[in-house]
Amino acid sequence: MASGITQEQLRYYDLITTELQVDVADEETGEIKSYVCDNPDSDCHLRYRWSQTPILWFTSPAVLYNGLKSSIYINAKNAPGYKKDYQMAVDIRLDGTSLDFEYDLGIDDNIAENSNTVVQGIVRNEHRNMDLDYTVRFRGAGFALPNDITSPNCKYDGTDCYLTRMYPSITSISASSGYTSGGQELTIDGYSLDDENVEVLVDGVECVPKSISAT
C-alpha cells in the first residue's frame, strides 16, 4: 500500500496497480540493492479491482449458538473461477473454526459468479464471543470484504456494533418435570456455560448452582 494512503481511501478507486520491487541484501557488506521492472507493461505489476473483490453482505442470524444453521449472504464476483477440482469453493470460519457445510456444499459444487448467493452451514463453535471473527475465503482469490453498511448489527443509536455474536446454548436438562415443594437437583449440559457469573432461573425462580464444570 502506498505511503500515507489508507484502505478506506483506496476504495474510491476501482483499479489499483502496484509496482513490485525486489530488495536484495549483500551477504558480505549488508548493502541492500533494489530492483524494479523497466517495462511498464511487464508482469512485474499487480492489479487489484474492487469490482472483482468478493463482498460479504451480512450473516443471518446475527446471534449464533452451537448447532445452529448460519446463512451467509455474499457476492463472490469472479472468485469461483479460481476454484480447483480438488478444492472446496469457499472456506468460512468463525473464530478459526470452519462452518460445517454438511450436505449444503460439497467439493464438486461451486458458487455462482457475480450474483448474490446464500451459503449455509452448521455452527460448530463451543465458546461464546460478543464480537465473533467471521471470515469468508475463496480458494485462490482471497478473502471477502465485509460491506460496511449492510454487515454490521448495531443498537438503535448506532452504537455497540458487531458482525456476529456467539451465545451459550443448552443441550439437555436432566429432568423435564419436578416437585411443587422444590429441592430437586438439575443437571444442565450445554456449551460455554462454565462461567462464574452463570445465573439459573426455573420458571422465574432462582436456582443456585452447586457446581460448574467444563467437560
pLDDT digits (tens, 9 = 90+) for 92-111: 999 989 999 987 888 888 99
Cis bond upstream, residue 40 (ω within 30): no
In which element (H, E) is residue 7 found? helix 7-10
Among 5-14, 36-45, 89-98, 206-215, name the most confident range.
89-98
Domain with CATH 2.60.40 in the chain: 53-166
What confidence tier does 73 reach under pLDDT thresholds 50, 70, 90? very high
32 bridge partner residues: 25
Closest CA to 166 of 128, 114, 121: 128
Residue 2 pLDDT greater than 50, yes or no: no
Residue 11 pLDDT greater than 70, yes or no: no
Per-residue confidence (pLDDT) for residue 1, from 0 to 100: 42
Closest CA to 79 of 34, 105, 48, 106: 48
Residue 85 pLDDT greater than 90, yes or no: no
Closest CA to 17 of 49, 42, 53: 49
Q: What is the CA radius of gyration of the chain?
A: 25
What confidence tier does 70 reach under pLDDT thresholds 50, 70, 90? very high
Put simply, whether the predicted model's pTM sits higher than 0.75 gets the answer no
Considering the four listed CATH numbers 3.30.70, 1.10.1760, 2.60.40, 2.40.10, the one that applies to the domain covering 53-166 is: 2.60.40
pLDDT tens for each residue of 38-57:
766 666 777 677 677 898 99
Closest CA to 137 of 86, 85, 96: 96
Residue 35 pLDDT greater than 70, yes or no: yes
Dump the DSSP string for 60-103. Answer: ESSEE-TT-EEEEEEE-TTGGGG--TTS-SEEEEETTEEPB-TT
3 state SS of 152: coil
Q: For the residues 153-181, what does the mean pLDDT come to?
A: 85
Q: What is the DSSP pairing of strand 142-143 with strand 134-138?
A: antiparallel
Q: Which three cell numbers stand for residue 108?
A: 464438486
Q: Could you tell me how far CA 83 lies from the centroid of its own chain?
A: 20
Q: Kindly report the average pLDDT of the chain as a whole number.
A: 83
Percent of the residues in the chain that have a pLDDT greater than 90, as a whole number: 15
Q: For the residues 172-199, what does the mean pLDDT come to?
A: 83
In which element (H, E) is residue 173 found? strand 169-173
Distance CA 46, CA 48 (A): 7
Better-predicted residue by pLDDT, 140 or 11: 140
In which element (H, E) is residue 19 found? strand 15-19
Closest CA to 75 of 23, 165, 178, 144: 144
